[in-house]
C-alpha cells in the first residue's frame, strides 16, 4: 500500500465545537443554515453535512444544484438551500425531484420552477433574494413588491422567507451594515404587507453572527466560523473557534549549505553564513500559496521555521539553522498545531494577502482528506 507524504486531517470534533459557539451567540429559537458550498470550504461536503445534520441544524446552504444532489445521494435528508438559484429547466427538475429549496431573484427561474412543480403536482419552498447593498444578485428593494406579487401568482411556489447578504459586517465601522439591516426590514415589511407570513428570513453570515445581533432575524448562516476561520484577517473576537483543517507533509532531506548558496528557483534566497535547510514535501500544488515564498512559516518539531526561497509545486525549503532535531521523515505542519505552536488559516491568509476561505478551499481540493472525531 502506498502512503502519501502529505495529509489533510479534518477534526470533526472541532467542527462540532464551532457549531456550539454559533449556538451560544444566537437566541434559542433562531435557526441555523450551515454553509457547506464549495466542498464545505474544502473540508468535504458530505462528511461535514452529515455532522451538521446529526447536530440538528435546520438546513444546509450550497451554491448549485449539483452540490445538493451529491448530498441527497449520500443520504442527507434535511432541507438544502441553493444559494445561487437555478438557470435551466433541468435544474428545476432536480429541485422538485429532490425536494430542494432554491433562492429566487428573477422571474424566469420562478416560472420554470412553477411549471415543473405543477407537472409533478408538488409545492416548492423558495427564498426571495433581496439586494440590500451587496450589488451582486438579488431584487432591489424598490422592485420587491412588484416582484413578490408576480411570484405569488405561481401557485406551486411558497415563499418561506427573504434572504440577503452582508457585504461589510467584518468592518470596524458599522454604518453600512446598519443600512443593510434597515433595507432588509423594509423588504420583509413589504412582503408581509402583500400577505406573506415570511417565517424564515435570513441575513447574518459569520461576521453578522459574531458582531451584529440585529442581523440574526429568523435564521443565521455560519460559514467560515464553522471551520475555525475568521471573517477576515485581523478580525477581533472573543469567540473561541477551533481550527478544523490540518495540513501536514514530511521532511524529504536536510542540507547543510555554505555561505552565499542560492536556494530554490530564481535564486531569490541566498544563505547567510553556513545554514541548514530542510526540504518539505509541500508546495503550491498542495495548496501552499506561492507568494509565501521567503515570508511564510511552517512547524517542524513544534517550532516555527521560515520558508527560505521560492515555493515549488511539490516542495518548500525551510531554514532550520542551529537545530539538530530535524531529520528526513519528520512531520512538517503547514496549517494546524504541532506541540504548543499553531499556524491558522488566518495566519497564512494574512501573509499571503488573501482570506482564510481561499486557503481552505485551495488546500481541500488538492490533498486527500482524513477525518478524525
Q: Would you state the cell numbers that stand for residue 134, as one nine-digit string?
A: 451587496
Total number of domains constituting the chain: 2
pLDDT tier at 104 (50, 70, 90 boundaries)?
Answer: very high
Instruction: Express each pLDDT in 214-261 by its tens digit.
Output: 999 999 999 999 999 999 988 999 999 999 999 999 999 999 999 999
pLDDT in tens, 60-102: 999 999 999 999 999 999 999 999 999 999 999 999 999 999 9
DSSP 226: G
Cα separation values, 245 from 57, 150, 221, Å:
21, 45, 20
pLDDT for position 3: 57
Catalytic residue, from 90, 265, 297, 304: name it: 265
Please check whether residues 167 and 54 belong to one and the same domain.
yes
339's torsion region: left (phi>0), alpha (psi -120 to 50) or beta? left
On whether both 191 and 286 belong to a single domain, the answer is: no
The CA-based dihedral angle spanning residues 60, 63, 66, 70, taken in that order and rounded to the nearest 10 degrees: -30
DSSP classification of residue 295: T
Residues 181-216 pLDDT 10s: 999 999 999 999 999 999 999 999 999 999 999 999
**Domain that includes residue 331, residue range:** 245-372
Q: Which three cell numbers stand for residue 190?
A: 413589504
- Which residues fall within 8 angstroms of residue 66, CB to CB, at 6 or more apart? none
CB neighbourhood size of 84 (10 A): 16
Residue 301 falls within a domain, yes or no? yes
Residue 221 sits in the same domain as residue 265: no
Phi, psi dihedrals of residue 70, rounded to the nearest 5°: -60, -40
Among 9, 37, 50, 90, the one annotated catalytic: 37
- 2 lies in some domain: no
Instruction: Output the pTM of the full model.
Output: 0.94
Cβ proximity of 268 and 312 under 8 Å: no
- Spell out the alpha helix ranges (H) of 77-174: 89-97, 107-119, 144-152
Does 238 reside within a domain?
no
37 is catalytic: yes
User: Would 233 be classed as within a structural domain?
Assistant: no
223 plus 258 within the same structural domain: no
- Say whether both 210 and 270 belong to one domain: no
Longest dimension (CA), the chain: 79
Q: Position of cell 422571474?
A: 107
- Is 265 catalytic? The answer is yes
Amino acid at each position: 500500500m502506498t502512503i502519501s507524504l502529505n495529509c489533510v486531517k479534518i477534526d470533526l470534533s472541532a467542527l462540532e465545537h464551532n457549531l456550539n459557539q454559533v449556538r451560544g451567540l444566537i437566541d434559542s429559537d433562531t435557526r441555523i443554515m450551515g454553509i457547506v458550498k464549495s466542498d464545505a470550504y474544502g473540508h468535504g461536503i458530505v462528511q461535514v453535512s452529515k455532522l451538521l445534520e446529526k447536530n440538528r441544524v435546520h438546513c444546509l446552504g450550497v451554491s448549485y444544484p449539483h452540490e445538493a444532489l451529491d448530498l441527497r445521494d449520500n443520504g442527507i435528508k434535511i432541507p438544502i438551500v441553493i444559494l445561487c438559484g437555478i438557470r435551466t429547466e433541468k435544474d428545476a427538475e432536480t429541485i422538485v425531484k429532490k425536494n430542494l429549496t432554491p433562492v429566487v431573484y428573477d422571474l424566469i427561474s420562478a416560472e420554470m420552477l412553477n411549471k415543473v412543480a405543477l407537472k409533478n403536482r408538488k409545492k416548492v419552498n423558495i427564498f426571495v433574494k433581496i439586494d440590500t447593498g451587496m450589488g451582486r444578485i438579488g431584487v432591489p428593494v424598490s422592485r420587491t413588491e412588484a416582484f413578490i406579487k408576480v411570484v405569488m401568482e405561481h401557485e406551486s411556489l411558497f415563499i418561506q422567507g427573504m434572504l440577503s447578504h452582508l457585504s461589510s459586517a467584518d468592518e470596524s465601522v458599522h454604518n453600512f451594515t446598519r443600512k443593510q439591516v434597515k433595507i432588509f426590514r423594509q423588504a420583509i415589511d413589504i412582503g408581509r404587507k402583500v400577505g406573506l407570513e415570511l417565517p424564515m428570513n435570513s441575513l447574518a453570515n459569520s461576521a453578522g453572527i459574531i458582531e451584529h445581533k440585529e442581523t440574526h432575524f429568523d435564521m443565521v448562516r455560519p460559514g467560515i466560523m464553522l471551520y475555525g476561520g475568521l471573517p477576515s484577517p485581523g478580525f477581533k473576537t472573543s469567540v473561541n473557534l477551533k481550527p478544523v483543517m490540518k495540513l501536514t507533509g514530511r521532511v524529504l532531506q536536510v542540507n547543510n549549505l555554505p555561505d552565499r548558496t542560492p536556494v530554490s528557483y530564481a535564486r531569490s534566497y541566498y544563505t547567510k553564513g553556513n545554514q541548514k535547510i530542510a526540504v518539505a514535501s509541500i508546495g503550491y500544488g498542495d495548496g501552499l500559496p506561492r507568494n509565501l515564498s521567503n515570508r511564510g512559516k511552517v512547524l517542524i518539531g513544534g517550532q516555527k521555521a521560515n520558508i527560505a526561497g521560492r515555493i515549488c509545486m511539490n516542495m518548500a525549503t525551510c531554514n532550520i539553522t542551529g537545530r539538530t532535531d530535524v531529520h528526513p521523515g519528520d512531520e512538517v505542519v503547514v496549517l494546524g498545531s504541532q506541540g504548543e505552536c499553531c499556524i491558522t488559516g488566518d495566519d497564512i491568509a494574512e501573509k499571503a494577502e488573501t482570506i482564510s476561505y481561499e486557503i481552505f478551499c485551495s488546500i481541500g481540493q488538492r490533498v486527500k482528506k482524513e477525518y478524525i472525531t
